[in-house]
Amino acid sequence: MKYTRLTKEQFEELHPEFINFLATQSITADEWQKIKTEQPQVAEEELDVFSDLVWEGVLQKAEYLENIAPQQLFLFKVAETEMQLISLKISEEGIDITTQEGYGWLQKNFAEDSVEFFTAKKKFSADKSADIFELIQQGAIITKGELYQFFEDILKSVQK
């Protein structure tokens, strides 16, 4: 298995897709029940293959990721050959941007000296999807990129 198995909730959410997946392998509902009972290892392998297919599709479509820690914000943009990072570090004591109050503070004070900006770029390895998955394993979530674009615009305006 390349990634991780989907959770029970994710499988339930993707039930129609899983049925289609089994159908592409000519496995009927009755046959699936029989496989689960008589060949549990084969059933486990099918669940793993389906999980990897789902993950691969999701990872290939990912354009932005965010990882928010109490005093740091990591914003990633997935480009063709590299990952671009905008990171913010908060040095103000007692601020936790994972809370609504702390995040509100950041929205008002992002231009203060207590907020440091960093940017970086890193080329993908031979397995771009695995690189993105590693960030997710570290706590990043896939987003639409509004925060990345917001801070990217600010950084561009400062560089002019």
Tell me the average pLDDT across 37-58.
Answer: 95
Q: What is the DSSP string of 79-106?
A: -SSEEEEEEEEE-STT--TTSHHHHHHH
147-156 pLDDT, tens digit each: 999 999 988 8
Determine the Cα–Cα distance for residues 87 and 76; give it in Å rounded to an integer: 9
pLDDT the model gives residue 154: 86
Q: What is the pTM assigned to this prediction? A: 0.87
Domain ranges of the chain: 8-61, 64-159
Return the H-helix or E-strand segment holding 64.
strand 64-69
Residue 106: CB atoms within 10 A of its CB come to 18
Residue 97: CB atoms within 10 A of its CB come to 22
